[in-house]
Amino acid sequence: MKMDDVILLSHGDGGLLTHNLIEEYFLPHLGNDLLLNLDDSTSITVRSDNVLVTIDSYVVDPIFFPGGDIGKLSIYGTVNDLSVSGAKPLYIAASFILEEGLKLSILKQIVASMAEACNEAKVKIVAGDTKVVGRNQVDKIFITTTGVGTLLEGVNLGKHLIRPHDRVIVSGPLGNHGLCILLQRGNFSFKTNIKSDCAPLNKVIEPLLKTFNGVKYMRDLTRGGLATCLKEIASSSRSIDILLDEESIPVDEEVRGICETLGLDPLYLANEGKFVIFAEKDESKSLVKFMREDLGLGMASIVGEVREGSGNVFMKTTIGGTRRLNMLSGNPLPRIC
């Protein structure tokens, strides 16, 4: 290995090596008319009364996993936060914290993956920053991205709009990302085909919002999974309950099987390309049909409905019983007996 194949502390000193790092590793992939100015800030023009901003940090371990990597995730995650809020994602600012000793080839791969993700999601990186810290002061690479978008025309979303009889729709099978990461990280000796579901949601949400007026509210189902998200929504309103039907919640067979073995519940596992919709009852069936047939979300399903209540989430089980769902509390732990 050559001595200069890795990130050195000097790559973060703001001098020649920093300059070279940006020129050689970032700009060839991420460069665009706005970023190439390389000024201290970038001027962007946004024509809208409703500009949405979001920020997220990405510290996933491992940085490469089946179905994606930290670079891709750092774009899609932020794009998705804007998308489920009804916005068209436009611009991203990205900040990198790199660990001394990180291989430059790995950095290159991550940056290239971010560029690909930006193309896919049709967003531009317009500002960036890199810092280097000493070995063991950060784990390889942390990325923070800020996203800017504009509210799609005519769109009005909010949990205050949710009413009894509204239907709850999920866009596809749950738990793949969370389980994929868990399997990569844990000390497991078995092989699986489980991949992260990380994907940009604006590609499907934009056409959906343009076609249907009955969408009241959306959330992307990241940390805490569907159960935690619904419990948050129900308890913030206090005047509704959400009733789920276990049978209709889509989960891939392999995910279900491994979850059973490890004592995990897919309803509490993170997703990176799935969202939940609260929609008017009358529109919900045609909405799911549209998602399945026109948007390629073959397993989109109505999974429950809103009732008058007091902030609870219930689930009708396969055998006809009822159980209550709470927020995720503590890590999902495996059973031992």
Binding site for other proteins (CB under 8 A): 186-189, 247, 262-263, 265, 315-326, 329-337
Instruction: Give the angle 32-38-40 at the CA atoms, nearest 5°.
Output: 130
Cα separation, 167 vs 303, in Å, equals 8
Least Cβ distance, residue 265 to other proteins (angstroms): 8
Least Cβ distance, residue 316 to other proteins (angstroms): 8
Least Cβ distance, residue 188 to other proteins (angstroms): 7
Q: Which is nearer to other proteins, 56 or 245 (CB)?
A: 245
Least Cβ distance, residue 230 to other proteins (angstroms): 14
Least Cβ distance, residue 263 to other proteins (angstroms): 5
Cα separation, 296 vs 317, in Å, equals 28
Q: Which is nearer to other proteins, 1 or 333 (CB)?
A: 333
> If you search the block for the tokens 């996993």, which residue do you land on?
65
Q: Which is nearer to other proteins, 26 or 268 (CB)?
A: 268
Give the residue from 117, 70, 65 showing the smallest Cα distance to 98.
70
Q: What are phi and psi of 210, to 5 degrees?
A: -75, -25
Q: Which is nearer to other proteins, 239 or 317 (CB)?
A: 317
> If you search the block for the tokens 């502390």, which residue do you land on?
9
Cα separation, 311 vs 242, in Å, equals 8
Q: Which is nearer to other proteins, 45 or 187 (CB)?
A: 187
Least Cβ distance, residue 4 to other proteins (angstroms): 31
Answer yes or no: are the C-beta atoms of 129 and 82 closer than 8 Å. Answer: no
Cα separation, 206 vs 275, in Å, equals 13
Residue length of the chain: 337
CB contact set of 224 (below 8 Å; sequence gap of 6+): 268, 270, 327, 328
| Integer-rounded Cα radius of gyration of the chain | 21
Least Cβ distance, residue 192 to other proteins (angstroms): 14
Q: Which is nearer to other proteins, 79 or 242 (CB)?
A: 242
Least Cβ distance, residue 178 to other proteins (angstroms): 15
Q: Which is nearer to other proteins, 247 or 282 (CB)?
A: 247
Say whether 237 sits in a helix, a strand or coil.
Answer: helix
Q: Which is nearer to other proteins, 105 or 248 (CB)?
A: 248
Cα separation, 104 vs 20, in Å, equals 12
Instruction: Give the angle 111-114-120 at the CA atoms, nearest 5°.
Output: 150
